[in-house]
Amino acid sequence: MPNPIAYELAVMTLPYQQWHLDRPDASAVVAALEEGKILYLPRLSFILTPQEEALLDPVLLEPERKNISYRPDRDRLDGVAAPEQRPAARQLLQRYYQDCRALMASLLPAYLDACHSPAGTLRLHQVADWRARASWRKDDSRLHVDAFPSRPNRGERILRVFTNINPYGISRTWRIGEPFPPLAQRFLPRLRRYSPLASWWLNAVGITQTRRSRYDHLMLQLHDAMKADTDYQRDGPQLVMAFPPGSTWICFSDQTPHAAMDGQFLLEQTFMLPLSAMRDPRRAPLSVLQSLVHESLI
Ligand code: SIN
Ligand code: FE
């Protein structure tokens, strides 16, 4: 039997309907987000133009791709199969990026100048389709915290904004897991030790873009250990949350355990954030892990 988590402990609901806000009352928002809560904006929708709506079909993806991806800082678009659809996909992901920045300027102004390396995705597959095909390690319907195998981040935060753009009324359903400190305590004893030689080798042969730090190693181990533990998946602390079309949510996905269970058609915008921009860096996974292992992890 799953161990339930109270909604108020995992989610902060915000009433906003606009991406550009005049004087929002954002005082408690940063603290809630940094504690690992999901900021949930049930009435913040992202309206598609007719050309953009025509993109909502998985046949649009290049074969074997999970998503269409866009790097706004390089204006780089990947994953669109048909050249004539590229302008609409670029426009959609560029507009979404701009709206996410505007929202951050209103709700999380201290993050705005510090965040970097923005990357967005348009997710077209049904969750049920990739669930059926993924290996356990890639199966994002198992509770996990995000850690990128090829892009070490040395403790920087992964901040993500999501908007359900399903035109058929289908919610994106997630499971949300426990706060990071008890999660780390639970799994740390099982994680394998860091090998400087392995980290050097992975970088030398090009598997990683830079060398994995002790932190990156631990976070990948944690990601894998969570997904591999079927008892934890079934019985661990969790809350089911359905995000209906026309809703938006924000979380630190390196901190908040999450699992996508159902849905189709999602926009997602990632930002990387240095710890120095946080109101309370002691909440970051890097700080929590360092206090548990009593050594520097970067
Ligand atoms: C994930 O970030 O693990 C998947 C989220 C989603 O696609 O709903
Ligand atoms: Fe994830």
HSE toward the beta carbon, residue 282, CA cutoff 13 A: 2
Instruction: Identify which ligand lies nearest to the alpha carbon of 259.
Output: 1
Percent of the chain with pLDDT over 90: 87
Question: What is the CA(23)–ligand 2 centre distance, in A?
Answer: 32
Question: What is the CA(18)–ligand 1 centre distance, in A?
Answer: 24
Ligand 1, atom 7: closest residue by C-alpha: 260
Which has more confidence, 42 or 130? 42
Instruction: Identify which ligand lies nearest to the alpha carbon of 260.
Output: 1
Which ligand 1 atom lies nearest to the CA of residue 140? 3
pLDDT at 24: 86
Question: What is the CA(16)–ligand 1 centre distance, in A?
Answer: 23
Predicted confidence (pLDDT) at residue 204 exceeds the cutoff of 90: no
Percent of the chain with pLDDT over 70: 100
> If you average pLDDT over residues 79-98, what whole number do you get?
97
Question: What is the CA(145)–ligand 2 centre distance, in A?
Answer: 6
Domains of the chain, earliest start first: 3-293 (2.60.120)
Pocket of ligand 1 (CB under 6 A): 123, 140, 172, 253, 258, 260, 266
**What does DSSP say about strands 67-71 and 76-78: parallel, antiparallel, or unpaired?**
antiparallel
pLDDT at 131: 85
Give the model's confidence band at 199: pLDDT under 50 very low, under 70 low, under 90 confident, else very high.
confident
Distance separating alpha carbons of residues 119 and 131, to the nearest angstrom: 23
Which ligand 1 atom lies nearest to the CA of residue 258? 3
Question: What is the CA(161)–ligand 1 centre distance, in A?
Answer: 11
Which ligand 1 atom lies nearest to the CA of residue 259? 3
> For helices 285-293 and 180-187, what crossing angle results, to 10°?
40
Give the model's confidence band at 208: pLDDT under 50 very low, under 70 low, under 90 confident, else very high.
confident
Distance separating alpha carbons of residues 201 and 192, to the nearest angstrom: 17
Give the model's confidence band at 284: pLDDT under 50 very low, under 70 low, under 90 confident, else very high.
very high
> If you average pLDDT over residues 237-258, what whole number do you get?
98
Ligand 1, atom 2: closest residue by C-alpha: 140
Torsion of CA 200, 201, 205, 211, to 10 degrees: -30
- Phi first, then psi: what are they for 108, rounded to 5°? -135, 55
Instruction: Identify which ligand lies nearest to the alpha carbon of 141.
Output: 1
Question: What is the CA(204)–ligand 1 centre distance, in A?
Answer: 30
Give the model's confidence band at 289: pLDDT under 50 very low, under 70 low, under 90 confident, else very high.
very high
Q: Share the mean pLDDT of the chain.
A: 95
Give the model's confidence band at 73: pLDDT under 50 very low, under 70 low, under 90 confident, else very high.
very high
pLDDT digits (tens, 9 = 90+) for 98-114: 999 999 999 999 999 99
Distance separating alpha carbons of residues 77 and 259, to the nearest angstrom: 26
Q: Are 189 and 274 in contact, with CB atoms under 8 Å apart?
A: no
> If you average pLDDT over residues 56-63, what whole number do you get?
95
Instruction: Identify which ligand lies nearest to the alpha carbon of 223.
Output: 2
Which ligand 1 atom lies nearest to the CA of residue 253? 2
> If you average pLDDT over residues 59-84, what whole number do you get?
95
Q: Are 285 and 159 in contact, with CB atoms under 8 Å apart?
A: no
Which ligand 1 atom lies nearest to the CA of residue 127? 7
Ligand 1, atom 1: closest residue by C-alpha: 140
Predicted confidence (pLDDT) at residue 116 exceeds the cutoff of 90: yes
pLDDT digits (tens, 9 = 90+) for 154-164: 999 999 999 99
Question: What is the CA(156)–ligand 1 centre distance, in A?
Answer: 19
Predicted confidence (pLDDT) at residue 194 exceeds the cutoff of 80: no
Indicate the SS3 state at residue 192: coil
Question: What is the CA(47)–ligand 1 centre distance, in A?
Answer: 21
**What does DSSP say about strands 157-164 and 116-123: parallel, antiparallel, or unpaired?**
unpaired
pLDDT digits (tens, 9 = 90+) for 119-154: 999 999 999 998 888 899 999 999 999 999 999 999
Predicted confidence (pLDDT) at residue 35 exceeds the cutoff of 80: yes
Which has more confidence, 131 or 90? 90
Predicted confidence (pLDDT) at residue 34 exceeds the cutoff of 80: yes
Ligand 1, atom 8: closest residue by C-alpha: 260
